[in-house]
Amino acid sequence: MEKRELYVIGLSSSVSQDGKNYALILQEVNGERKIPILIGLAEGQAIALVMEKLKTIRPITHDLFKNTIEGLGGNLKEVLIHTIDRGIFYSKLILLNAANEVVEVDARPSDAIALAVRFNCPIYSYEFIINEASVVESAGKLTLKKGSFAEYTIEELEELLASILAKEDYESAARVRDVLDRRKGLQ
């Protein structure tokens, strides 16, 4: 399977049924496709701290994990977002231990990316995942890679809405919001 490198282009605060979240936006290197991923508040803040080059007085959980890996002689080689199932992304950390052996550890994408930005290591995903989950921007407007909104789950629509709002495309956001409202009314 062909891997594509992604990088973090931004975070946007988002409100979902579960409360306040962040929409993490990844973009493929040398490409236009973007992947919005809803992540928790703590993980969003952990990523934002690194992006804004802010230091905390004491280490937060992701700093602690990085310090532990390095203290044991290891290093984070890469993050791989390897699966998407019903709108949920799955990833793993690809680590090198002190003996320079590869160790793979299951991780939520939000935690994996919070570590990736601390280690300054690449983030990858497979082409089929990017095709399924991405949106593209053309002439300042986001365009869906999938067919109609009917093919999206509620969670995917919420992620798409967060991504569109991050781009301040309120006309498109209103259309997605209307579809979400209709769907939620049918449940």
Q: How many CB atoms lie within 10 A of CB 140?
A: 8
pLDDT tens for 117-139 read 999 999 999 999 998 888 766 55
Measure the CA–CA gap between 158 and 153, rounded to whole angstroms: 9
Q: Is the CB of residue 25 less than 8 Å from the CB of residue 49?
A: no
What residues does each domain of the chain span? 3-138
Q: Is the pLDDT of residue 145 over 50?
A: no
pLDDT tens for each residue of 152-170: 677 777 777 777 777 666 6
- The one-letter amino acid code at 161 reads L
CA distances from 103 to 79, 93, 100 (A): 12, 8, 9
Specify whether the CB–CB gap between 161 and 180 falls below 8 A.
yes
Domain 3-138 CATH assignment equals 3.30.70.890: no
- pLDDT value at position 78? 98
Model confidence pLDDT, tens digit, residues 36-49 = 998 988 998 999 89
